[in-house]
Amino acid sequence: MSAMRKEESSAQKPRVGSDVIQSFPKGTDSIHLMCQAKNHSRQGGDRDLPSTNNENPEHRRFLMAPPLPSFPTAKARARSPRLWLQRYQMNAHLATPTLLLCVLHLTISSEVDHGEPREHEPLNGCHVMHARSQTSVPSIKSGRERDAVYAVPREKIADFTFDETVARVFPDMIQRSVPGYAAIISMIGILADRYARENTFLYDLGCSLGAATLSMRHHLRHSRCRIIAVDNSEAMVRRCSRIMETDASTIPVDLVCADILDVQIRNASVVVLNFILQFIPPADRLQVVRNIYEGLLPGGILVLSEKIRFPHPHQEAFHADMHHAFKKANGYSDLEISQKRTALEKVLIPETLAAHRERIYTAGFTHCEVWFQCLNFASLCAQK
């Protein structure tokens, strides 16, 4: 057993792709994140365990530890918090939806060389920074900041924006507002692994804090893929970049601050629009889907998750009422729900599933399946 571990620990680390994305529009602010992190090796049986450095006592304990429960108890986390978090992060590709969100919401240190981001010459008008995971983090933040953006009465409610206030509480906000969100995030990784091809790009359009990007990174078995995560919110991009720096996956990610209408999709095997098309003006939505279709390779997929509305009033009333009950059950007050609904009224414009299907087929896709729905939230998978 010890000989086998020694052989695994000396295995060559997977190589990270070094090709540079050339397709972004002039003036796009891009952060190129290539996190050189722990080496992951395939083990027999039902579990995938990362190969480790046996000179590190925490890694020896990691290898000798018994199988983990579905989530560590408070006592276990207090006894060895860093070990628990490392182990869950390194096995995120096997994780349940709850554990996948842990990767997003927890700051975890990585056993790699420390390095500050280094600026490089702009490429095709894109400002590129290379960043490596950091050796240590001053503190481990467990949990997430609670969303109280609309908890106080407001005389005037402005339109909803993805600013710093929202970005700070976004993990809690979306988890408590979108039924089935964790399951969608987990399945995006599984879909990406199924349809991704080597030497292709995977796009996360409207990536916010990178939940879908992380899910894809930790499910992909193809090391010769590259993820391009795009968001037009500077606050989201800044926070997402810090999350990616602490992530252990070696799949390279290009984080781009730009409008998705301005990003050229090319050589793509997977494109994700996770609750973002609903924020784009309806007149522009067909062009977005058509651009995706044209940039996808044959057999490639679009994963489209959206809040939906229903053609019949009684259906709409039922799902709206149950969504309200869902948010109340997750701790939102009537005031918070009402004020946020007003803020989103002119910003988030949902459509029926029939409207989404029609647009997808008009863009050129040949197959479209609704693979998930919970109340008035659904996710579709369209294939070229």
20 domain residue, yes or no: no
Q: Which residue has the higher pLDDT, 208 or 8?
A: 208
Report the pLDDT value the prediction gives residue 121, as an integer from 0 to 100: 32
d(CA 127, CA 125): 7
Q: Which residue has the higher pLDDT, 151 or 57?
A: 151
259 domain residue, yes or no: yes
Q: What are 349's two structure tokens?
A: 């414009």
80 domain residue, yes or no: no
CATH classification at residue 237: 3.40.50.150
| Confidence band for 222, pLDDT divided at 50, 70 and 90 | confident
* Closest listed residue to residue 205, CA positions, set 103, 102, 305: 305
Asked if residue 49 has pLDDT above 90, the reply is: no
Least confident of 15-24, 50-59, 134-143: 134-143
Asked if residue 66 has pLDDT above 70, the reply is: no
Instruction: Report the pLDDT averaged over residues 218-235.
Output: 94
Report the pLDDT value the prediction gives residue 48, as an integer from 0 to 100: 39
Question: Under DSSP, is residue 214 helix (H, G, I), strand (E, B) or coil?
Answer: helix
Helix ranges restricted to H, 95-249: 97-105, 164-177, 181-195, 211-219, 234-245
72 domain residue, yes or no: no
| Confidence band for 265, pLDDT divided at 50, 70 and 90 | very high
Question: Under DSSP, is residue 33 helix (H, G, I), strand (E, B) or coil?
Answer: strand
Question: Under DSSP, is residue 10 helix (H, G, I), strand (E, B) or coil?
Answer: coil
d(CA 33, CA 250): 10
Asked if residue 33 has pLDDT above 70, the reply is: no
Report the pLDDT value the prediction gives residue 87, as an integer from 0 to 100: 41
* Closest listed residue to residue 353, CA positions, set 287, 294, 278, 288: 278
* Domain of residue 138, residue span: 28-47+102-309+349-383
- How many separate domains does the chain show? 1
> pLDDT tens digits, residue range 267-322?
999 999 999 999 999 999 999 999 999 999 999 999 999 999 999 999 999 999 99
> pLDDT tens digits, residue range 349-381?
999 999 999 999 999 999 999 999 999 999 999
d(CA 267, CA 264): 10
Q: Kind and range of the H or E element at 373?
A: strand 367-374
Report the pLDDT value the prediction gives residue 143, as an integer from 0 to 100: 54
162 domain residue, yes or no: yes
165 domain residue, yes or no: yes
Report the pLDDT value the prediction gives residue 202, as an integer from 0 to 100: 98
* Closest listed residue to residue 6, CA positions, set 68, 59, 53: 53
Asked if residue 345 has pLDDT above 70, the reply is: yes
Q: Kind and range of the H or E element at 382?
A: strand 377-383
Q: Determine what percent of the chain is predicted with pLDDT higher than 90.
A: 61
265 domain residue, yes or no: yes
Q: What is the DSSP string of 233-294?
A: -HHHHHHHHHHHHT----S-EEEEES-GGGPPP-SEEEEEEES-GGGS-HHHHHHHHHHHHH
* Verdict on whether the full-model pTM lies above 0.75: no
